[in-house]
Amino acid sequence: MKDYLEEYKKWCESPDFDEETKKELLEIKDDEKEIEDRFYKELEFGTAGLRGVIGAGTNRMNKYTVGKATQGLANYILEQGTQDKGVAISYDSRKMSKEFSMQTALILCANGIKTYLFENLRPVPELSFAVRELKCTAGIMITASHNPPKYNGYKVYWDDGSQIVAPRDKDIIAKVRDVKQFSEIKEMSKEEAIEKGLLNIVRTEMDDKYINTLKALIINPEIVKEQGKSLKVVYTPLHGTGNTVAERLLKEIGIQNLYVVPEQKEPDGNFPTVDYPNPEDKKAFKLALELAKKVDADVVLATDPDADRLGIYAKDSKTGEYMTYTGNMSALLIAEYRISQMKEKGILPEKGMMITTVVSSNLTQAIAEEYGLKLYEVLTGFKNIGAVMKKEEELEDGHEYVFGFEESYGCLIGDYARDKDGIAAVMALCEAACYYKSKGETLWDQMNNIYKKYGYYKEDQVSIVLEGAEGAEKIQEMMTNMRNTPVERIGDYRVLTFKDIDRDYVKDMVTGEESKTGLPKSNVLYYALEDNSWCCVRPSGTEPKIKLYMGVKGVSEVDANKKLEDLKNAMVAIVK
């Protein structure tokens, strides 16, 4: 009998599993393809924690896989001897998020580990902030970020408020794998956990601290108060956690004309008005843009379900059209605004730094050079930005954090947290809009000013979705082919440098010289091209996709758009 059928049979018969789980599994007894997909592997606790489709089975998010992950984490914390510092836990609006968060808290409590559980759903950045504020040993966020509604997930943070990084991630993964039987998962009732002082509920006092911390980061509060009387802002939390704090924050800083999309205001794990609750997806803005046209809004903002990502449209006053921004554009608009204002006011650190990822815009380099900031480039994942922040903080003469972002619609404007913060980004963009409004300009005017100043940097990405066991195999095959086939030209561009980050290998394609990347191992291939252009390929760490990234620099918008389209087509042809 095939292994996955053995495992399926065990789940259907073992006393370790409840009747509801068995009933769900018996309903698929004649569908071998579905059984295979649910049981061909264990839902892996990877470097980003867990993420998967909700349902019964080893390759699904359910109380057994969540329980196993939590017991493994508990064993690790006990080994570290930091159980008394406690663990902060938050969750988003997805199906089963509330249940998984309570289950997680009670398993930790049963292991003698103090927990701080948010009374209701809250954004990822507030969880990162709370870990630092409460001086916890760890944090857990139940979320599948921007994935479709059938998914949920489990992110683990460490005491600096950043998601776990090497070597700790590998050590925790090993502890999770060591939990062989579901019967090893410890249990405790809510009543007993409260009675023993192990389960502590976090209420709105954390919102107050978080919001006040963000408000203190505003550079031009008077301009915001003045221009906030007339600036019109449409915001949607896309049925997620964003509006638990965003509306209050914007009103407190002085944004008087704020319109929250009514159909998407309330948290709802079915995400009934969108196919895909992702602010990177233009379709997610449909209702927000309709409202924007009705109220003549200046800016349209959307955060994903756990509110770490922000998408934006801004009105072009010349045409009346709402113009979309990529994650690179919105982050670098915030960066240019904040850094130029800090310099003007004499508060830009002498030894300041910006941090970004290898797949983000090369415009970052130009901005860092303009303001004399050191630029760090790290692997994809905000935890890698957090790791540099921690390292520099621990040095006696380390660089001071000024700004960090990744192209996937996430940035962090201060060092109060260690994950991307869509709420702070909403605030920062509203501040920037007020500032440029006071100069008679829109955010779209300012975006064009940035291009005129630095050059027309444009980026794009393509995701090729390949689901299931066959898809995973195909992705691996595509990466192997790319890795082992020397590429000397991509479209019109000569390849200048090839980097295989998984093998810590760099080849100068002009001189033939070989060297090391100096980056941690990761399944990423990077091609530096002529004329400030580049391409990159990697499998997604959280979804069944292979992702292609590319960027160009043009002399005008038309020139940059044409170059980008040509490069994108050339890259897709090579990968496929």
Tell me which residues are annotated as active site: 145
118 three-class SS: strand
Class of residue 411 by CB neighbours under 10 A (exposed 0-12, middle 13-18, buried 19+) = buried
Tokens representing 469 are: 């066991």
- Amino acid (one-letter) located at 176: V
DSSP string for 256-272: -EEEE-GGGSS--TT-T
The answer to whether the beta carbons of residues 56 and 106 sit under 8 Å apart is no
For residue 144, which of 71, 54, 64, 72 has the smallest C-alpha distance?
Answer: 54
Q: Kind and range of the H or E element at 7?
A: helix 3-13
533 three-class SS: coil
Task: Show Cβ contacts of residue 287 under 8 Å, excluding neighbours closer than 6 positions.
Answer: 236, 261, 263, 264, 273
For residue 463, CA distances in Å to 325, 536, 543, 549 come to 18, 12, 10, 9
The answer to whether the beta carbons of residues 244 and 236 sit under 8 Å apart is no
* Distance in Å from the first CA to the final CA of the chain: 35
Number of H helices, E strands in the chain: 19, 23
Q: What residue spans of 179-281 are helical by DSSP H?
A: 190-195, 205-215, 221-227, 246-253
For the four alpha carbons of 19, 23, 25 and 30, in that order, the dihedral sign comes to positive
Across 525-553, b (16+ Cβ under 10 Å) vs e yields bbbbbeebbbbbbbbeebbbbbbbbbbbb
